[in-house]
Structure 1
């Protein structure tokens, strides 16, 4: 929660003079030293509502300063070169990184709407987020439908255009994804993504769809697009009882990704809910379709 402090001065019968205003953020911890979720706040009309909205705006500014403005993405390339000689290594590390992110236990619930939950995790100057929901669709079918990124534009408005570049392996596919500009009038972004899919190794294990950026000589950055990069992202799909499936989407936010979600994290919007409500509808509409893994046409 944010607490505002205002310092004023006066002398004799003179009007009050504003000296300084400061804002401090406090975190309430439980007995296990984990952050507590505070009760919902209903601000008082007029000034109370204005202060409430200003506090949310300051939260977004802090996020932008800490994780976008202060990070110069070009100084530390996140993409790694891909070629047949290192595809096994890249695929293993892609899935392993997602498993490690999913295994973190200190996620903090930031927002929840109609059983779609948004969590954040700040660690080592890195901001990660997780979106979690449930669908009444078999886990295998969810896995098949979400594995083909070309179908993602049917439910995610951030995926404006998706091209399958190549199937490097039965469980590894490389795509080019085009997303809208993060600023009004700015360039659209494109990503070259390696999607690594894994079925459960044992009962109780999840299906995994891991995503990360790779570099391909045939698809260099161009002047018409801002080349974005993904360090670690993807889906963890858990089979539950009665054909219910838990879907967790993870993203280790980079400067190219964070602007799409920072307004949700700050509480200024709930587009994450709209996106995953659309995802749930897409999965339920196609739960009986013959989904298949993507096949290259090259």
Structure 2
């Protein structure tokens, strides 16, 4: 019953062959096909095709289709939501078909259909469908202008029309995520109250921090595409790997990936990059869990670059193939707040559009306006060895010696070699949440220029470092 149903679905999906006037069967000029027989080296512990391997094949096929239309190299910009309806076993054949649905100015949408073929029963069934966006790249500085795509069949015309709406939704995706994140306090409060109403003995809760995974990969030439960039499919496969580990830590079983919520490549990666992959279970529902995963990259001493982010939904199947209930996740708001603050500061510090607002006594004040927020960055240069400066400034117990914002800082307990718990006593802080023309002149100097308080703190910090300087002097820049 299962296979007959799927064969019917595949028959409905495929358009009947269109015979042209010259007697030839029409085929989309951008269409590319790939067929792979599943070997044990492609499979996971269940003898099923690894989703990471499937993502690499899908990305390769779609890229070749995009490049056939563009006539030049193309890179993956994003992959829309993917829902995996069925798995593929060892010995079966996976068939991947990709074709360009519509070309815009320098980007194009490529439709991908994945089906499975059983060589012994001669049955076919659909596995998943995806839409990827590729951007054409030219060696020169001039921007690529893609030639328009003219749809021919009824299905091609339908996909051509819908592609514009899908593109609009992709462009809105960032704004939608911002709106969701702005409501995080409301959602958290509602979620916490719902958990409190449930019986504590119902199921054991798992700390979200216990599912956290961090892994590093070195981008080698074998991971590069024909443009010497890290292959987009390889990055997606690495992300799927760490997400699976995070899901396994929650359920202590082998999870099955069901849905991927949009891969969005935010920056390129090259051979030689160290790719940092992080994943954590965000939440669990009755029979499924969501895992957040991100990829960052760096070379040498440069700051981390955000490469990609995605959300993946996993299920754990019982012996009969049905999703089984999962334990509840217990979030740790303070831990999330700490990680999010550090991550946001790292991303902010790496921006290259800071504007120098003022400089006095080797103390520089930079400003940056972003998302209706004014960000301030202060730097001071002094002749202190960088390693010594780090040791002195990372010792919070001595911070009251130079920072007036720390009245007292007492070590409570060392956690490990790198982490310690301190009790910090700080003076009261006043915030302006509303302004009017009457008070604006009094705070304008603190917003637009270098205030005397900033200057005094950094002069005090400079004197503190010089008084405790050890070794040969080298220039050290201390940003805040």
Q: Same-fold call, TM > 0.5?
A: no
TM-score by length of 2: 0.25
Q: Relative contact order (C-alpha < 8 Å, sep 6+): which is higher?
A: 1
